[in-house]
Structure 1
């Protein structure tokens, strides 16, 4: 009777887990193209289409009147664009290794260049993560229920779904991290040549997806030489050889980085901005709470601190539980997986200054470890018939589902910070009669004006100016909008149009013709 009840309980738990996994798949497939195609995704399309920054500037930022549709032509892969054009464009941006962008190039060759198609590749990689986390959990714990709960946590995790809907490399990075970890444990257990080759190739794939994959190498080295003291010398030598092979395979891109180091420094200069410790600490906490709860609260909202307290209590308790109940080599690896990337991002910002650790997406290696330790703890606690832990699992699922419903039906979200208001700005412009949108090549405006153009009516007129391009007035437009101007540019526009600018939305101004003394606009110079 007891065994029957236990089997029935386990059966219904698996049914719930399968339903949640199906919901995770649904959230990944639903509203893929709803959110604003933001600044960074715009550059994804530019790179894949084979365009360079100077081509956009010389073609469009010259003061001539163009349409939003004209600008979006640079977001599409032309039949005339050959693969070397894409590679040349990627070389000009060495901070992003090319693997994801080459995959997307071939994906666009097959299916086209729409927002839906671009983001669908990330969805595919995110779905493959389900299989990856299952087999990694199997390598670590050899427990089918732990494996299934690991998949469930990843499937419904708000942060995973959020980045599955981005035409960026982070879902692929998650997949390659997991694959390299799977083969890392397989070579330790079985020492087969095919596994060593797979380990080397998967580790190299992580390098070609993100420069931050250096954390994975560091984790593996520490684990092999400081923790696996009983591992035979032959296996350690093989580990050195195949890790070196992975690094050798990355040399072509490493040479590109070294030859374009000045470009790398320029492109990543934004990470050197100073921020307060309180601001950064809040973000560090929210990086990890967004694994399970992300309902769009303001940064310093009181409810955020409740979620932070609850989620971090769960994480630290799970760490202690795993340490107490698993083999030393397992829990030490998971600790390294969580803390090496986390400290590797936070400590440099604390010591030297900067905001690299403010980027949630940079912590993906640590998230793998968090999912696994929590999955193990939940499984073992529920197996002990703990109603409290069943409730905790239910709350995790509930908050994750609510988070995904809210996020999935929004046009923008916190991860699109540079373009956060673009959807609302586009709506204002689309409602105006005969509008003209003016902006200058300042800061992030180049990417953001293209971002907004995805939401503008195709025939909306734009006037894009380089820093030194003189303003030519156009009296034939009924509404003139100025997007994200500098103070100097505001003065220039006001002088040119003999009127003042009115802030009507964050980053959007409008020429106030009602205050012009001579209401005949043809009187302008």
Structure 2
């Protein structure tokens, strides 16, 4: 990172400090937050079992302990080949690269929450050299005024290190942080190939197409094997190359198309499985694997953009969130405007396309429907990256340009961005749950309620999000808690030895049938927008109801 040496000493120390803090926060308290519904599916895929196999083994009407879930959570009886083949046959919409790496990792370090999340934290460290490479290719040379060089790459590294949204995915046991790394690699290698080819053409030398474009073809294939949405990253790259060539079939365009074709051909073995799985999904009657909440599109989108810089898990309904969104959106808008006004069109065009194109296939239907599925947030990762590049360029330019008074203002803005990032990281590192935990957000409260009882039994079926949330809860419940899991809302046979019996997210019909079957009543003990938990109890006598009524009246 030679060009960091050109920056003032205070900036070098600041970047090193923020990078150090970012690394520490990524590995701090990895097991503190709940292991969410989606993360349990990650370990299920790694295990080589399917949901159907796990469901048949566990949801069979027998009383089981939390240790029964371990077989389907990580490396156990099946092999690496089982992991790959199960993904290909039953879950090909999730390409295998991350799961292969994760399985090899868990074979060494075990199946703990810390182990699987530490892999994401380690992969996230690759973001820093990759974003440096992308900035070097994108901005070409360090920004310098009056002999003071201020590389946007160094500022970008600092921003990525303390960005709250980056921290979220760096500690998530899913493939999203690896996807970000592959986006950075494929984008940087694309710009490198274009630059080298232009330089050789200007020197009237014949470009070596294999040497120039092979890295891009490889990184594109790696990205596709990480996350299917990389196909839209490739579309964004294609739009950029063709637009930069002013819509002419130039040598660069032809070689780009050839390299992209090679990348997609390398992905073809998995793509055939994806196509078959996709059509099977369309005609399948069972679309209840996961459930997510829906919320207004613009509110969700604006909140997510504000979380790039400041995130203490403020919910949409909080009035303070509106102020945060206004400030963040103004800052982002000005960064993009400044980028477009002060850089070559090839620079701002790349960033704008990266922000806009990959998310359009999802956002346009959402805008038409008027609501958005909260679980689609990871698809905004390319937009987050583009925005952070624009902001890095703005800050790197402004703190080295203009008068001292102007620079002082931007020093204050930089300090505010840093403070917001560090505060967000601090709050995040100590939290038990976070906004990205989605339908598992209430599991800590449910676990606390159940763990306080003496001889608890938790009853549930496998419909909707219940399956994944039961797995998630198993990480929080004490060994004394037993499970009675059934399929298709069958009437469970409840043993007499349990003092406290809970129903996890039952339908009204199923709950009423159980009440009638056992001549019991149910009291709700927890409820949110995702699910509810009920406790079975004996019907109150007339005397008990009178006592309860008098108690309420006296308390009022």
The TM-score with structure 2 as length reference comes to 0.87
Determine the structure 2 residue equivalent to 1:419: 440
- C-alpha contact (below 8 Å) 1:48/1:104 kept by paired residues: yes
**Cα drift, residue 261 of structure 1:** 2.0
Secondary structure (helix, strand or coil) at the match of 2:444 reads: helix
| In 1: Cα distance, 2:152 partner to 2:518 partner | 66
Is 1:485 aligned with 2:506?
yes
Distance 2:510 2:109 in 1: 41
Structure 1 residue 20 displacement after superposition:
1.4
Aligned-partner SS, 1:57: helix
- TM-aligned CA deviation for residue 434 of structure 1: 1.0
Q: Which residue of 1 aligns with 2:422?
A: 401
Verify the 8 A CA contact 1:21 1:152 in the aligned structure 2.
yes
Deviation at 1:262, TM superposition (A): 4.0
Does the 8 Å CA contact 2:291/2:464 hold for their aligned counterparts? no
Q: Residue 201 of structure 2 corresponds to which residue in structure 1?
A: none
| Counterpart residue number, 1:153 | 159
Residue 297 in structure 1 maps to residue 314 in structure 2 = yes
Which residue in 2 is equivalent to 1:218? 235
TM-superposed CA distance for 1:156, in Å, is 0.6
Mapping for residues 73-112 of structure 1, pairs under 5 Å: 73-78=71-76, 80-91=77-88, 92-112=90-110
Displacement of 1:477 after TM fit? 0.6
Alignment of 1:429-448 (within 5 A): 429-448=450-469
> Within the alignment, does 1:320 sit opposite 2:337 as a pair?
yes
Alignment match, 1:177: 183
Residue 403 of structure 2 corresponds to residue 382 of structure 1:
no
Quote how far apart the aligned CAs of 1:270 are. 8.3
Q: How does 1:28-43 map to 2 (within 5 A)?
A: 28-43=26-41
Distance in 2 separating the partners of 1:178 and 1:134: 9
Do the aligned residues in 1 keep the contact of 2:460 with 2:506 (CA within 8 Å)?
yes
For 1:236-271, what per-residue CA distance to the aligned partner results, in whole angstroms no more than 9, with x for missing partners? 221111101111111112111121224444687789
1:522: which partner in 2? none
In 2, Cα distance between the equivalents of 1:90 and 1:415? 24
Q: Tell me the alpha carbon deviations over residues 411-446 of structure 1, each in whole angstroms, 9 at most, x when there is no partner.
A: 111111110011221122112101111111121111
Counterpart of 1:243 in structure 2 is: 260
Q: Paired residue for 1:282? A: 299
Q: Which runs of 5 or more residues in structure 2 are unaligned?
A: 143-149, 198-207, 545-556
* Structure 1 Cα separation of the partners of residues 302 and 100 of structure 2: 34
Q: What do you get for the CA RMSD once the two structures are aligned?
A: 2.4
After superposition, what is the alpha-carbon deviation per residue over 1:211-253, rounded to whole angstroms, capped at 9, x for unaligned? 2112211211111112223988332221111101111111112
State the alpha-carbon separation in 2 of the partners of residues 263 and 43 from structure 1: 20
Contact 1:224 1:236 in 2 (8 A): yes
Number of matched pairs: 510
Q: Equivalents in 2 of 1:358, 1:45: separation in Å? A: 18
Aligned-pair distance for 1:379? Answer: 0.8
- 2: CA distance between counterparts of 1:302 and 1:282? 12
Which residue pairs with 1:410 in the alignment? 431
Cα offset, 1:82, TM superposition: 1.4
- Alignment partner of 1:44 out of 42, 45, 55: 42
> Structure 2: how far apart are the matches of 1:8 and 1:233?
37
Q: Distance in 2 between matches of 1:164 and 1:319?
A: 26
Distance, in Å, in 2 between the alignment partners of 1:218 and 1:340 is 8
CA distance in 2 between partners of 1:504 and 1:356 (Å): 27
2:478 alignment partner, SS class: coil
1:274 Cα shift?
9.6
* Equivalent pair of 1:207/1:250 in contact (CA under 8 Å): yes
- Aligned counterparts of 2:33 and 2:316: Cα–Cα separation in 1: 21
Pair 1:205 & 2:225 matched: no
8 Å CA contact 1:72, 1:450 repeated in 2:
no
Q: Quick check: 1:93–1:263 contact (8 Å CA) kept in 2?
A: no
Match of 1:196 in 2: 213
In structure 2, do the counterparts of structure 1 residues 356 and 150 end up closer, same or farther at CA, with 3 Å as the change threshold? same
1:349 touches 1:357 (CA, 8 Å); kept in 2?
no
Structure 1 distance, partners of 2:112, 2:293, is: 37
Cα displacement (A) at 1:13: 2.5
Judging changes above 3 Å, is the alpha-carbon distance between structure 1 residues 354 and 274 closer, same or farther for their aligned structure 2 residues? farther
- Kindly state the Cα deviation for residue 209 of structure 1 after the two structures are TM-superposed: 1.6
Matched, 1:168 2:154: no
Contact 1:49 1:74 in 2 (8 A): yes
DSSP 3-state at the match of 2:8: helix
Residue aligned with 1:189, SS: helix
Structure 1 residues 502 and 224: alpha-carbon distance in aligned structure 2, compared to 1, 3 A threshold: same
User: 1:470, CA displacement in angstroms?
Assistant: 2.6
1:446-504 CA-partner distances (Å, limit 9, x unpaired): 11101100111234211001115332122111111111111112112212331111111
- C-alpha displacement of 1:343: 3.0
- C-alpha spacing 1:210/1:516, structure 2 compared with 1 (3 Å): farther
For residues 193-223 of structure 1, give each alpha carbon's deviation from its aligned partner in whole angstroms, at most 9, with x where no partner exists.
Answer: 3341110111111111222112211211111
Deviation at 1:54, TM superposition (A): 1.4
TM-score, with length taken from structure 1? 0.92
* Equivalences for residues 111-122 of structure 1 within 5 A: 111-122=109-120
